[in-house]
Chain A
Amino acid sequence: METQKLFQVDLGHLMAFNPHHSFSSQPSSREDLVNECLQKGTELVQAITDSLFNLPSTENVDGPLVKLPPPVTKLPREKHLPRPKPPTKWEQFAQKKGIKKRKKDKIAYDEPSGTWKRRFGYDRANDEDAIPIIEAKMNDDPEEDPFAKRRDNKKKRIEKQDKNRLQNLKQAAKVGALPSHVQLAATALPITGTQAAPKKVTKDELGSVAGLAATSTASGGKFDKKLPGEKTARHQGKYRKFLPVVEGSGIGSQEKEQTEKVLNKIFSKNSHNILNVDKAINTYNVKKEKKWRSEKAKASATGSKLKPQKKLHKKSPKKGSSKKGKSK
């Protein structure tokens, strides 16, 4: 047991600590250091086993079982201690009145049928909902449907119970003793602690909001009474400026420049399709053909009468050749 004086042994964690050893001089090589560490470690492990094997053990199928003592080194908990659940409203009331819980029989006597039936569930004893005929009384309201009323009452009772349950759960949630499988949706945030603090509204933002409010009247805020210290609303948006159209020495040319600038921009953007060569050639050809056709039609209509005119047309070689072909 002299080792235990030298070392601190914590059997609960199977931990041992040698506070006395110190490396006065750094060992020359890594291997030396490792060997020294292992040697010291072996001593400590031996110390733990010495006390471990001396504990009373019980034989088991798998081997000797040892009951470990509670650990000496305290480590922090993972979560807080479970908190006791606060009593429900009914439990408080029952406590006050001295009402004790007692068990009901599973089976109860069913008056209408005169037999014993299960107390709850399907085909239960004294089931109010299963009565097929409700006898009318003298002072009953003829407008009212007794069956609908029965259904209504049942619904109300269920709602009341739900409300009571929610109230009790809210109370439990306040203390932090909500059952683990229950969640109240309003409190169910992903992280309960560190959240970004709500952003503070700056002076500028406040000013702009105040300006908006002040100008939201029919007169745009012109005839409203000003509060002491209230500033005029900040103007939102751009001021539009219109340059004079008339040409002059100074500003007049500015207007021209502005329009030119816009025009240039549009042109430069679409410069690549301003002149489509293919299209231009096509349109030129089509036009030419059209012209030629119309003229030819004219010529055929007045053919015999205007022979000298026809001869005039023969000047172009193309037309001449076509003419020759036709005649052949």
Chain B
Amino acid sequence: MVEIKTAKTHKGKRELEKRAPKLVESGKKTLILHGTKTSGVLNAVLKEIYHLKKDCAIKYSRKNENIKPFESGGETSLEFFSLKTDCSIFVYGSHSKKRPDNLTIGRTYDHHIYDLVEVGVENFKPMESFSYDKKLAPKEGSKPFITFVGEGFENVEELKHLKEVLLDLLRGEVVENLNITGLDRAYVCTAVSSNKVFLTHCALRLKKSGTVVPRMELVEVGPSMDLVVRRHRPPNDSLRKEAMKTSREKPKKKEKNVKKDAIQGKIGNIYIPDQKIGEMALPNKAKGIKRERREAKLKNESGEHASKRKKDD
């Protein structure tokens, strides 16, 4: 007998609905984890990637024995973690004699591995080693500028792939409306040679240029590193086609409290909260409200009125 299981609480139901497939997706979460062995460099790299993406990343600190993304059967527990944490990008660090300081970046589609890129980390410089004006420090979760330099990103297959993966990893939340004042960071990726990419993280300094558009200046805030491409596995063609599907229609928001009437046209209900006149704060300095003055006025009223009347007369 099949049993129907539903969420027991409304909170649980909402949480599950967040994970349901959406018409327009709002950004991918990143899972950061490592294998049985990681070097100090790699630990720092994973930590700093986590710091850069803190608003939409989950970091696992335990060793993972049976994760080998490129081998068949080695992705099972990775796919399980992706399902469990609802993450669709993962950054997996491992360190071995054959592939020292190895970073595997991959994406999943429907919680199955979509593509993989493996890079080695060289010349890593952590955030702490950069000194700069702390006022410029980028805020958590701000939308970054992403720049790619070099013909390698267009000609070399691996770098082309890496470019797409890096863009997906670094782009942050997908937004439609952007606050221009919130822009404070940029990633610069440069293809130095056919298999090497220099990646650095910069803060932005806006300077006056005399026009509406400010002059931009980059201040390196780190981390910066060289990524040497090792193995990569591009997505399956059919899977790629499936994953690239988008819908033309926009998700409709339910219109509440609005009726359409043939005679009267559009009728809306408007809610006006109670005015609460009794609790209204009065200006303190009104002279008439002060009790002493009011009483004094009452006392003097008879005399004054008489004199005034006299004058009027």
Give chain A's interface residues, CB within 8 Å of chain B: 13-23, 26, 30, 33-34, 37-38, 40-42, 44-46, 48-50, 52-54, 57, 60, 62-68, 73-83, 165-166, 169-170, 180-188, 190-194
The yes or no answer to B88 lying at the interface (CB within 8 A) is: yes
A41-B188, A68-B175, A75-B168 are known contacts; what are 18 more A-B pairs with Cβ within 8 Å?
A38-B220, A40-B190, A41-B149, A42-B217, A44-B149, A46-B216, A48-B147, A52-B180, A54-B213, A63-B180, A68-B176, A77-B109, A182-B5, A185-B2, A191-B111, A192-B111, A193-B112, A194-B75
Asked whether B16 lies within 8 Å of A34 as measured between CB atoms, the reply is no
The answer for the CA separation of A187 and B2 in the assembled complex, in Å, is: 8
B2 touches A166 (CB 8 A): yes
Contact partner, B200, options A15, A37, A187, Cβ 8 Å: A37
- Say whether B180 contacts A19, CB under 8 Å: no
A37:B176 contact, CB within 8 angstroms: no
Asked whether, in the complex, the Cβ of A63 is within 8 Å of the Cβ of B182, the reply is yes
Cross-chain contact of B198 among A33, A53, A67, A166 (Cβ < 8 A): A33
Instruction: Report yes or no: A182 in contact with B149, Cβ–Cβ below 8 A.
Output: no
Asked if A19 and B5 make an inter-chain contact with CB atoms under 8 angstroms apart, the answer reads no
> Are A170 and B245 closer than 8 Å at their CB atoms?
no
Are A181 and B16 in contact (CB-based, < 8 A)? yes
Which A-chain residue is minimally distant from B241 (CB atoms)? A76
User: How far does the alpha carbon of A82 sit from the alpha carbon of B204 in the complex, in Å?
Assistant: 39
Q: Is the CB of B79 within 8 A of A194?
A: yes
Task: For chain B, residues 91 to 146, give those with C-beta under 8 angstroms from any C-beta of chain A.
Answer: 107-112, 114, 123, 143-146
The CA-CA distance from A33 to B243 in the complex, in Å, is 37
Which of A30, A53, A181 lies in contact with B17, CB distance below 8 A?
A181
CA distance A64 to B188 in the complex (A): 26
Q: Which residues of A contact B114 (CB under 8 A)?
A: 76
Q: Which residues of B contact A38 (CB under 8 A)?
A: 188, 200, 202, 218, 220
How distant is A39 from chain B, measured CB to nearest CB, in Å? 9
Shortest Cβ distance from A36 into B: residue: B190
Residues of chain A lying within 8 A (CB to CB) of residue B73: 194
Supposing A49-B213, A50-B213 touch, asked if A191 and B6 sit within 8 A by C-beta, the answer is no
A19/B154 in contact, CB under 8 A: yes
CB proximity of A232 to chain B, nearest CB, Å: 40
Task: Check A65 against B23 for contact (C-beta < 8 Å).
Answer: no
Q: Assess the A180–B17 pair: CB atoms within 8 A.
A: yes
Chain B residues with CB under 8 A of A37: 149, 188, 190, 198, 200
For residue B4, CB closer than 8 A to chain A, the reply is: yes
Chain A residues with CB under 8 A of B7? 181
From B2, B25, B144, B151, give the contact of A14 (CB < 8 A).
B144
Evaluate contact between A169 and B216: CB separation under 8 angstroms: no
| Contact across chains for B147 and A45 when beta carbons are under 8 A apart | yes
Tell me if B20 and A30 are in contact (CB < 8 A).
no
Report B-chain residues with C-beta under 8 Å of the C-beta of A74: 244, 246
